[in-house]
Amino acid sequence: MVEGGAIDHGNHSNDAGAMIHEAHEFDLAVAEALKFQAAHPEETLIVVTADHETGGLQFVDKSAVKPGFAAMQKMPLRLLSKQVAKMLDQNKSEAEIIQWLCNQIGIKDLTAAESAKLSKAMKRVLAKQTTAKDKLTGYGNYNPLVIAAFQVRDARNGIQYTTSGHTDTKISTLVKGAGAELFKEPQENSDIPHRISIAMLGDDKDLSSGLTPLPFAADAIDYLVPRTSYPDSLMFQFGTIGKAPQKLELKDASGKLIKSVPGKDVCGFETFGGLTPDTEYTLEMTKADGSVQKSVGRTLPQPKGKKLFSFIVLSDLHYSCFGDIPYGRMVTFSSKILTDLVKFANDNKIPVIIQPGDCADASRDEQYAEIMEIMKVYKGTNLATPGNHDRSGEGYKKFFGQNEAGIQEINGVQFVWLATGGPNTGFLGKKSNNAEVLKKYDPSRPAVIFSHYQLTKDSKMTDKDRAIHDEDKAPKPQVQEMLKKIASAKSTVIYIGHKNTATDVKLGNCWQINCPQPSQFPCGYLLVDVYEDGLLQHYMPATEARIDEASRRMGSGSLRQWTSRDGRSFPVWNRFIPMEIVAK
């Protein structure tokens, strides 16, 4: 990869001479690439493109352009400005400075109007003023005299700049070599890496499919797991390295074939309906090489009571406006994930969404603004508590409100959110209103508590952030009293974010459940159906299968081999939790 990055800098500073010089240098680099392509035509693709146009450079009069005018410029704006400042320090006169500057960029015999323009710019320099700063890109603040001299030179050559920022002028993508046919149609610049990937590695689908290209991971292995359970259905997820499986066959405990489906892609979700509640089934995946991989899943039992309502646990969204994280967090999809989830909640009349922290990835105001913009169409109640990625700022205050912890009753169930993230990350009893909230909490009545940090440690996590520090590392009497009250409850469940690893442990009578994360494998959230006699909890995929598979392949070794986070996920994230929601 070769970048002619200084072309952009030349245009930001409206320095046509520097821009032309750098474009010529870039052209020489392309010429070298063409020589290589000519020697290796079957295996070389050259792509020349840009991310945007800069400066809004225009022709006013093409016939006025004098060949070679840029070559007369001896140095770029930065060095010209530095020398002007030096001459001022040496008490050089205005006439001497202007004459020197004109000689440096090839201007001779100034007209009266041109002299007046430069003299006016010189007064701005003496007043220590600079050119205006472009609000969007931050470029600007240049030496007014040097910019005015450029404008005089450019006007003589029939060209002009319109901005120091970026423009929406269409740019070209030029290609040559193997795979060039993939670039025939106009594209968004975000399409280009996809097309290069297909040219290099191939793809078994045509471009119109819109499939997410998958990264290569040498140590990733094939996997097949049960993913989601209902009383009458099971959904399995699979991923293969290489070719798509031949078929997937669901069988009951006796080996009887329930359903067979052909393999269509190297990864996917397959749902099988019409099943018997609380029953074990086996899915057999016949791979491309004829070998068979098996996975066992169990349907959930059918609750005895009446279904009352549902709620969603959306943990660790990590909403971001930036690129994906190298270890597999697919944050570029966070906007679509949240938009799709809100639509699902509205379509299914789900009255509550709870978020146990890390709503934004970097606690930036624009991230919270985009979350709130998407959430404003949600017809239910959104309850959120901060995580360790949610720290401060105006957007933080608007999103979480004045009190980071709270309690609200919805459909006869207490929803309690405790602040263990934010500015007091890792603590339950430190500078928050958690104690006030727990005074209002009634452990004799049904409740859902959610927190970013675990309230009590479990045996499967051993790192320093395995639980709140004022219980795990240095127990505080006040915190122990708060936890004792929760532990005494008979119909309370606790949902936890932060680790996004499928673990569970009991705090007294209450199950504490670590939740999935929607942007990192396995990418999902929890849908909880509230019945009179308990909670029926299901894992729900948050993305399409290829995005989930890309996250797995980009993740750590344990993720690529699906032993970490995913190994215990099915029984932890799909379960019936007996609770007395409606008193008998």
The DSSP code sequence of 488-519 is: T-SSEEEEE-SS----EEEETTEEEEEPPBTT
Q: Tell me the residue type at 143.
A: N
Geometric angle at alpha carbon 161, from 155 and 165, rounded to 5°? 160
pLDDT tens string 186-227: 677 788 888 888 887 766 444 445 566 677 676 788 989 999
Over its C-alpha atoms, the chain yields an Rg (Å, rounded) of 31
Q: Say if CB 114 and CB 152 are below 8 A apart.
A: yes
pLDDT tens string 334-385: 999 999 999 999 999 999 999 999 999 988 899 999 999 999 999 999 999 9
Tokens linked to 371: 């979350």
Residue 62 to residue 48: CA distance in whole angstroms: 25
Residue 119 CA, distance from chain mean position: 51
Tokens linked to 401: 């409100």
Geometric angle at alpha carbon 392, from 386 and 394, rounded to 5°? 110
Alpha-helix runs per DSSP H in 65-221: 77-89, 94-105, 112-126, 144-156, 192-201
Q: How crowded is residue 273: how many other Cβ atoms within 10 Å of its Cβ?
A: 11
Q: Look-up: residue for tokens 């870039």?
A: 26
For the chain, the average pLDDT equals 90
Which residue, 519, 499, 552, is CA-closest to 317? 519
Please name the helix (run of DSSP H) or strand (run of DSSP E) that holds residue 82, with its range, or none.
helix 77-89
Q: Which SS3 state, helix, strand or coil, does residue 266 take? A: coil
- Of the candidate ranges 140-154, 269-283, 324-338, the one whose mean pLDDT is the lowest: 324-338
The rounded percent of the chain whose pLDDT value lies above 90 is: 72
- Whether residue 522 is preceded by a cis peptide bond, meaning omega within 30 degrees of 0, is yes
Residues recorded for the chain: 584
Tokens linked to 182: 């993939």
Per-residue pLDDT at 562 exceeds 60: no
Please list, residue by residue across 480-489, b when 16 or more beta carbons sit within 10 angstroms of its beta carbon and e when fewer do: eebbeebbeb
Which residues have a Cβ under 8 Å from the Cβ of 251 and sit 6 or more positions away? 257, 258, 281, 282, 283, 284
Which residue, 229, 293, 234, is CA-closest to 263? 293
Residue 234 to residue 274: CA distance in whole angstroms: 9
Confidence of residue 84 (pLDDT cuts 50, 70, 90): very high
**What's the pLDDT at 207?**
45
Residue 384 to residue 416: CA distance in whole angstroms: 10
pLDDT tens string 391-438: 888 999 999 987 789 999 999 999 999 999 988 889 998 877 899 999
pLDDT tens string 7-40: 999 999 999 999 999 999 999 999 999 999 999 9
Q: Which SS3 state, helix, strand or coil, does residue 578 take? A: strand
Per-residue pLDDT at 149 exceeds 80: yes
Per-residue pLDDT at 233 exceeds 90: yes
Residue 150 to residue 22: CA distance in whole angstroms: 17
Q: Say if CB 395 and CB 369 are below 8 A apart.
A: yes
Q: How crowded is residue 119: how many other Cβ atoms within 10 Å of its Cβ?
A: 15
pLDDT tens string 293-306: 999 999 999 999 99
pLDDT tens string 305-330: 999 999 999 999 999 877 656 567 88
User: What one-character DSSP code corresponds to residue 70?
Assistant: G
Q: Say if CB 145 and CB 94 are below 8 A apart.
A: no
Q: Look-up: residue for tokens 């929890």?
A: 526
Residue 432 to residue 418: CA distance in whole angstroms: 9
**What's the pLDDT at 565?**
58
